[in-house]
Structure 1
Amino acid sequence: MAAGRPSGGNGGRRNLATFRNGKRGSVMNGPFQPPANGDGNHPFHHLRKLVNQWFDERPLQKLFETLDDYFAQTFAAAYIPIEVKETKRDYQIIVRLPDIKRDQISLQWHEDGLQLVIDHHETIESSDDSGHVYERRQQRRRVARMIPFPYPVAEHEVKASFQNGTLVIRLPQKRKYIGID
């Protein structure tokens, strides 16, 4: 090695390496050091404070909960389950409709079946301890289901009653069964 020449064989050019804690490495190889929380004079102090506040308050959590509630309610009520019972005199179509009032139900007769329509509307209010309303939501859902008849039925033969959240639709039994000896 010649006197006065730096070692390393790069012709006297300096490379981008430095010594940190007695070890040779790149300037960017050190562990990340976040800015000190200090007195707020750091240029990114305000930004860090906003980001921390955003994650602490979780504003999206309430939004997602609201969306989850909306879709759960929408798709839960989108299908009206029915139960069909057959007796010797008639067919009974039983529809359980909790929290539905009689005036929210309509039955429309068609030659090949009945259309059951439920028009449910409600107002939900939230208030604080002093009685001041801080949230008021109105919901309206309209759900319909076609209930097909197994055979032609005249309109005057269809009977319906609604009690205690249960709608019962009665169709006359048209088929006659023949006993086999």
Structure 2
Amino acid sequence: MSSNLPRDPRKHDEPFNDFRGLMNGFFHKPPVKGFLQSMDEFFQMPFSTFSVQVQEFDKEHIITAELPGVKKEQIHIDVLDRSIKITVKHLEIIEEENDVDKVYKKSQSMQQLSRNIYLGHQIDERKVKASYQNGLLKIRVSKPMGKKILIEE
């Protein structure tokens, strides 16, 4: 015998509909929604680096890094024991203000790229010089001069 009452299809036809609704709400409300958006943005960003060439001459190494669009203030050079570390930091702050809806939104992102160039000899930081022009960073690193030994006859 069938009933002429209207049936609620959510309750009878799909037993997991309530669970699906709870899970859908879970993933579309803060803080999970924000976390998932951050993960999506992270994996959409290309993993990249910058090009570096090292030339060796008799008295020095010349390290050239191509950094188009980078400001001088974003570049950091560290002299380590036997290597040079070049780091580029980009901080972006976006602020949005809507007076009509009384909403203020601020977001911040930071991207950092670095390269470590091993030179194989002790580096005297006083003998390192750097210049930056038109997106090209040049670092000159003097080679240590060994002591000449005279050979007796």
* 1:173 positional shift: 6.7
Q: Does 1:86 align with 2:55?
A: yes
* 1:123 positional shift: 0.6
Aligned to 1:100: 70
**Counterpart amino acid of residue 76 in structure 1:** F
**Counterpart amino acid of residue 66 in structure 1:** S
Q: Does 1:69 align with 2:41?
A: yes
Aligned to 1:110: 80
Aligned to 1:150: 120
From the CA coordinates, give the structure whose radius of gyration is larger: 1
Question: What is the SS of the residue equivalent to 2:41?
Answer: helix
Per-residue displacement from partner, 1:49-76 (whole Å, max 9, x unpaired)? x95xx69xx9488864432212444x72
| CA–CA separation in structure 1 for the residues paired with 2:8 and 2:137 | 67
**Counterpart amino acid of residue 164 in structure 1:** N
TM-score (normalizing by structure 2)? 0.52
CA, structure 1 residues 120+103, in 2 after alignment: closer, same or farther (shift >3 Å)? same
| CA–CA separation in structure 2 for the residues paired with 1:164 and 1:136 | 32
Question: What is the SS of the residue equivalent to 2:70?
Answer: coil
**Counterpart amino acid of residue 167 in structure 1:** L
Query: Larger RCO: Structure 1 or Structure 2 (Cα < 8 Å, ≥ 6 residues apart)?
Result: 2
Aligned residues of 2:53 and 2:64 also touching (Cα < 8 A): yes
Aligned to 1:140: 110
When the two chains are superposed, the root-mean-square deviation of aligned CA atoms in Å is 4.5
Unaligned runs of 5+ in 1: 1-18, 21-33, 37-46, 176-181
Aligned to 1:29: none
Between the two proteins, the alignment pairs up a number of residues equal to 128
TM-score (normalizing by structure 1)? 0.46
Unaligned runs of 5+ in 2: 10-16, 146-153
